[in-house]
Amino acid sequence: MKPQLKVSLKPYNTLSLDVKADYFVRIHNINDLHLARNFCQMNDCPWLLIGGGSNLVLTQDFEGLVMVMAMDKVFWPSNITVPKMSDKFALSAEAGYEWDRLVEETIQKGASGLENLSLIPGQVGAAPIQNIGAYGVELAHCLTSVDVFDFKTGQTFQLTTTECKLGYRDSIFKTHPHWIVTQVNLTLNFEHEPQVGYGIIADTIASISGQSITDPSPQQIRDAVIHIRRTKLPDPKYIPNVGSFFKNPVVTSEQVESLTQIWPGLVSYPVALIPVAKTSKTHSSYYKLAAGWLIDKLGWKGFREGGVGVHEHQALVLVCSGSAKGKDVLDLALRIQADVKANFGVKLEIEPRLFDSRGEFTYNLD
């Protein structure tokens, strides 16, 4: 393996941050991962794996090996052309395959399950890392298992969905960053059960087709999701961004009640019924607050300073210009976090992963 030296990572992250990697390689197969691991051990250097670069903030030149995932085979089942043989089928895709291309191809083959997750940028291998989700569906709904390469030991193994410990924008991979996903295994359906609980999907389907449709096809849902996303979210090709910069905070029903008294119109969604404490018999419903609403209410939408800002139509999305640095984006995030905390008493958690010259770090209010 002969890594390239001093490579700009600007084309490999959707914030277009212009930092350099000391060493740079593309990973085409498991053997490349073994070679990369040997390289890092021999040179005693840190490493970083990048997929589509749509969920990370690079704040400094990286003093180690940057690997870009390029394993991109898809393994379709052999009976795919005879869908009615079974109402489900198993499908595997290597980590470097483009996520939205996979979604599109499954729908073209008559399968459903991924349509609500249309147009999410990035690669298949990154999908389980934060259990990507949109419009009421998460990867967890279709995931069967994940093939992993352990960069510490060089061993390969498989994790079931349960073992992946998927949660809201969360998984076991967040606490095991040395586990590299090499392949994702999914189970999709030929029997379609449309997930249109989010009213905006049904409304958009109706406005596209000119009539109300109770049982939309996967393609109709995909078209609606693409339409909504293109209207609401900036395309990183033209406006550098990483999508939502903050997770929606989870609070108790009591917090929602008292916040609503001060902030009428507070946007919240019920999450689940969870025991307040293991010892307590009382239960409290938990709610997700719309982080974008909180930020918008404080007047941040459309804010600009230097090369960074908050998108004019979507307060949850931080944007930057070509000259901005990762640190500038994070400083703005911290100011927004502090403002939200001061006014709503709620802490916003940063969603994308943050990297400096040696690896991942956290950057949050205390």
Residues taking part in catalysis? 169, 244, 351
Write the DSSP string, 317-338.
EEEE-TT--HHHHHHHHHHHHH
Q: Which two tokens stand for residue 147?
A: 């093939």
**278 HSE (CA, 13 A, CB side):** 0
Question: Does 125 interact with ligand FAD (rule: CB under 6 A)?
Answer: yes
Q: How many CB atoms lie within 10 A of CB 226?
A: 17
**150 HSE (CA, 13 A, CB side):** 9
User: CB under 6 A: which stretch of 52-60, 81-89, 245-253, 278-286 binds ligand FAD?
Assistant: 52-60
Q: Which two tokens stand for residue 277?
A: 């404490």
Question: Does 236 interact with ligand FAD (rule: CB under 6 A)?
Answer: yes
Cα separation, 275 vs 270, in Å, equals 15
Q: In the β-sheet with 74-75, what is the strand arrangement from edge to edge?
A: 74-75, 88-94, 179-189, 143-150, 156-160
Q: Which two tokens stand for residue 264?
A: 């009428």
Question: Does 243 interact with ligand FAD (rule: CB under 6 A)?
Answer: yes
Residue 363: CB minimum distance to ligand FAD, A: 14
Cβ closer to ligand FAD: 115 or 255? 115
User: CB under 6 A: which stretch of 78-86, 126-134, 185-193, 287-295 binds ligand FAD?
Assistant: 126-134
Encoded one letter per residue, x for contact with ligand FAD by CB under 6 A and - for no contact, window 151-180 reads ----------------------x------x
227 CB-contact burial (10 Å; exposed 0-12 / middle 13-18 / buried 19+)? middle
Encoded one letter per residue, x for contact with ligand FAD by CB under 6 A and - for no contact, window 246-285 reads ----------------------------------------
User: CB under 6 A: which stretch of 131-139, 205-213, 216-224, 338-346 binds ligand FAD?
Assistant: 131-139
Shortest Cβ contact with ligand FAD: which residue?
122
Question: Does 184 interact with ligand FAD (rule: CB under 6 A)?
Answer: no
Q: Which two tokens stand for residue 349?
A: 């958690």
Q: In the β-sheet with 317-320, what is the strand arrangement from edge to edge?
A: 241-244, 317-320, 308-310, 304-305
Which position among 3, 9, 54, 266 is part of the footprint of ligand FAD (CB under 6 A)?
Answer: 54
Cβ closer to ligand FAD: 92 or 241? 241
- Tell me if 310 sits within 8 A of 301, measured CB to CB: yes
Contact positions vs ligand FAD (CB under 6 A): 14, 49-56, 69, 95, 120-123, 125-127, 129-130, 132-134, 173, 180-181, 233, 236, 241-243, 353
